Amino acid sequence: MKTKKFYKILLLEIIAVLAIGAYFFIDSSDIYRWYVGNTDFVKLPKEKCDLHVKECSITLKDGSKITLEIIPKSIPLMKPITFKAKTEGIELNSLEVKVYATNMNMGFHEFLLKKTAKNLYTGSVTLPTCVVGNMIWDANIIVNKPTKSIGAIFEFQTDR
């Protein structure tokens, strides 16, 4: 006959195996996204600001502000382009960026803008080329706060 001690040890072993399995199979960013919910975006239409000409600003739903500049202004394909974001009311170590084409599947490009100075974040990416041309892209800049996720969507066109 098995004792109470045997069942307690068996229960602890099962909990340990489940905890180790969860550690290896569950992504912490998925848990965070489940906890805070979907990102609440504000989109700046391309007609309101052209990143080929100047930097563009968006006021987020919490009142903070993100200003984005892309260098070089021609926004070429198959060459590194630098994203510079300035923030007001946001102080983080990095900003998450997701870039994707809206008029054709050109892949999903994720990278971080790292803090280089107070309220200034920079990062680079190389976007793929397309034989069709006139690619329209969205750059989602995501601010992950402890209890919510907010973001800005900047639309731009690559190398004319």
pLDDT confidence band for 66 (50 / 70 / 90):
very high
Give the whole-number percent of the chain exceeding pLDDT 90: 48
What mean pLDDT comes out for the span 116-124?
Answer: 95
pLDDT, position 134: 74
Nearest to 89 by CA among 112, 113, 61, 68: 61
pLDDT at 160 over 60: no
pLDDT confidence band for 113 (50 / 70 / 90): very high
Using one digit for the tens of pLDDT, what is the confidence trace for 72-89? 998 888 899 999 999 999
Domain spans of the chain, in order of start: 1-36, 38-157
CA 19 to chain centre: 29
Nearest alpha carbon to residue 118 among 87, 143, 141: 87
Is the pLDDT at 36 greater than 70, yes or no? no
* Amino acid sitting at position 55: E
Mean pLDDT of 107-134: 88
* pLDDT for residue 34: 66
Q: What is the CATH code of the structural domain delimited by 38-157?
A: 2.60.40.10
Q: Is 108 exposed, middle or buried (0-12, 13-18, 19+ CB in 10 A)?
A: exposed
